[in-house]
Amino acid sequence: MRCCLRYAAVMPTHRDDFLDEIIGERAERNPEFPELVDAALRRRELLRELSARREALGLSQTVVAARMGTSQSAVARLEAGEGDAKLSTVERFAAALGQRVEWRVEKAR
């Protein structure tokens, strides 16, 4: 079973399950699919880190939303990983927490 490295690292003791099957099937049709999964996991991880930071700062989603110029429900969706957040939205979320996101381009594996 060909599975993406990042997913395997996040789930080190997992046995093949439905998600592994889907990744394997999609990878057969599109060899770049595992890298797309890796990218989605990195985005999810970043959003979880920012969410944890918000909680550590004692800020409500409503306060962060006001700082971002959006609604509390939009922040909740962002933190829940619903949808594919724009880079600018992630940057505004970080800025509302007094953080900055650094982007870099790396050679693909």
Is residue 48 a part of any domain in this protein? yes
How many Å apart are CA 62 and CA 73, to the nearest integer? 8
In a domain, 107, yes or no: no
Neighbouring residues of 94: CB distance < 8 A, sequence distance ≥ 6? 50, 100, 101
What is the domain-level CATH number for residue 56?
1.10.260.40
Give a yes or no: residue 76 inside a domain. Answer: yes
Residue with tokens 């999609």: 26
What pLDDT, on the 0 to 100 scale, is given for residue 42?
A: 87
Q: Number of folded domains in the chain?
A: 1
* Domain enclosing residue 28, as ranges: 5-96
pTM (predicted TM-score): 0.73
Q: Is residue 104 part of a domain?
A: no
In a domain? residue 36: yes
Per-residue pLDDT of the chain (109 residues; tens, 9 = 90+): 233 444 445 545 556 677 778 888 888 898 888 888 888 888 889 999 999 999 999 999 999 999 999 999 999 999 998 888 899 999 999 999 999 999 888 887 6
Tokens of 21: 């099957």
